[in-house]
Amino acid sequence: MYNSNRDEIDSESNRKPALFTDETLPIVSCKEVIQKDPVHSVNASVQTKFEVQLADAECQSIKRKEREIQVDLGEKAVTDEIQVDMGRLSKFLERTAPRVLHYIEDNAERPNILRHIKLRYSGDDTAQELFTLTYPEILIDKEIQITSLSWSANGSSIFVGYGSTSHEGLCMHKGAVCSWNIERFKINPNKPDMTVETSTCVTTVACHPERPGIVAAGLYNGEILVWDFREQDSLIARVLERQDLHRDSVTSLQWIREPKLSKKKFILVSTSQDGRILLWNPLPSKNNLKLTDAYFVSTKISSKSSGKPMGVTSVSFNNEDAETFVFGCDSGHLYKGSLNSVSTVQSREQGLADMTIQPKNPITMAYQSHDSPIYSVNFSPFNRHLFLTSAHDGQIRIYSQLFPNYGRCFAPAQGAIFTCRWSPSRPLLLAAGSEHGRTLIYDLEPEEGASTDLLSSIPVQELPSSDKRSSIICLEFNHKTSNTLACGDSAGAVTIWKLAERFTTAQNDEIENLQILAKSFGDN
């Protein structure tokens, strides 16, 4: 059909002139081919009219370069052998030895020549107040105050015990143990980092000497609690044998190394108004604070049948002899005790016979008494014989454990002296807290050319309480940062002071002068 039509058209074109006409051609179809290779696309958005520049760089690559160092020793060869002319050496020693021995013997007979060199401080002696810490929530009760302070083992945190000293029978107050980390970048002085509330007043706290998170607290009802603030369940130990509990308020706690079994292990010592001095294993299994030894002090020391309990208010253990300690009583009596005592106590005192360990009489020596209750005793960290006492009679005394009478006495006319401590860095520096709201710092280093008999009885510095009038109840030097001193007052505030260099850096002859002071007590 298509060919016949085509022929007709050709015949007509031979007869007529050629003309252009429209023509429709058949449709041609092609099979679709799909590209199966992956399509790579990049989406980018640029919010700038400038050209975007890209660069490649290697990261976390280590470049090493090697260099050789050569020492030109010249033409001389190096050998291990040293040529010594023994003849010349012998003559040299014969000539110089007598002179050297002469000077050695001469210096041995003289005091240390450096002791005559006095350090002179040109800076300001004024203490700097770093923080004033308080816990407003518990201070809603106007009778609550700070009762005790203790620095953590690493010296970064201060632990504070809150309670009341006004009781007429049962304690109806709530107590608390709080802590602040003073090394934090931002510290909130009105909000503790950690807080644990107790059913009764906290009377004393003591941090573990080596484990920063562990702290023990004694309560008004005689209980002792131990926490580890690094654990979620922080209470790790308490007294489960009720017959071993103190029957009156706990007055002091102190961690000491176990003197008999293992000197690497620490035990906890507690004292109380019930006349008992108890030793505890503080980290046993099953959260049990187990009694390991017991001592009892009464008004009839020499009698086989003891009298009324003599309240023990404070205890301090010797730094060089862990079995020797001194303790003060609410009667003003002062004694030295020993953990080696074997003198048993035959007593009708209620509860003594029911204890799991029968108490012993610890007293080995009696000292000259104060006229009123003793609040604090503290052994010197630099001399095994010297210790401090402070009492309600307003006196600060220095004793030697070798002699019954005190060697030095300071009466600053500041009312009762509630606490006293030796400096951990200055052998002849001590601090005391007074009823009249002052922390008194004494420097016993004699002036150049003066005798130790002329020790100054005037404080070299007085630091005020938080409100300038509240009593200083407790104070503690930071043993890791010796220029830091914490003072707790009856207004419920803790003031952290930074002491001047003069009060933290020891003189060259200071330990020697402390020894001279201790020896002078025997001449009194």
Q: What amino acid is encoded at 139 in this protein?
A: L
pLDDT of residue 9: 46
Burial pattern 109-127, b for ≥16 Cβ within 10 A else e, equals eeeeeeeeeeeeeeeeeeb
> What confidence tens digit (pLDDT) does each residue in 51-95 have?
556 665 555 555 666 665 554 545 455 455 677 888 888 888 888
Angstrom distance (rounded) from CA 157 to CA 84: 61
> What confidence tens digit (pLDDT) does each residue in 288-343 have?
889 999 999 987 655 554 567 899 999 999 999 989 999 999 999 999 999 998 88
pLDDT of residue 116: 47
Q: What amino acid is encoded at 353 in this protein?
A: A
Nearest CA among 470, 445, 460, 462 for reference residue 497: 462
Does residue 294 contact residue 355 with C-beta atoms inside 8 Å? yes
> What confidence tens digit (pLDDT) does each residue in 386-395 have?
999 999 999 9
Q: Pick out the chain residues at pLDDT < 50.
A: 1-6, 9, 11-13, 33-37, 39-42, 46, 48, 71, 73, 75, 78, 113-117, 305, 452-454
**Dihedral over alpha carbons 146, 149, 155, 157 (to 10 degrees):** -30
What six digits make up the tokens of 288?
A: 């049990």
Mean confidence (pLDDT) of the chain:
83
List Cα–Cα distances, 45 to 48, 52, 55, 393, 465, in angstroms: 9, 10, 18, 84, 65
pLDDT of residue 256: 93
pLDDT of residue 332: 96
pLDDT of residue 406: 94
Nearest CA among 469, 420, 466, 468 for reference residue 441: 420
Helix (H, G, I), strand (E, B) or coil at 114: helix
What six digits make up the tokens of 240?
A: 């489960």
What domains are defined for the chain?
Answer: 401-523 (2.130.10.10)
The pTM score is 0.75
Angstrom distance (rounded) from CA 320 to CA 220: 32
Angstrom distance (rounded) from CA 328 to CA 334: 5
List Cα–Cα distances, 210 to 60, 90, 155, 256, in angstroms: 40, 55, 11, 11
> CA 174: distance to chain centroid?
26
What DSSP string describes 336-349? EEETT---B-B---
Phi/psi at 387 (nearest 5 deg)?
A: -150, 155
Angstrom distance (rounded) from CA 522 to CA 308: 34
pLDDT of residue 30: 56
Tell me what percent of the residues of the chain surpass a pLDDT of 90: 52
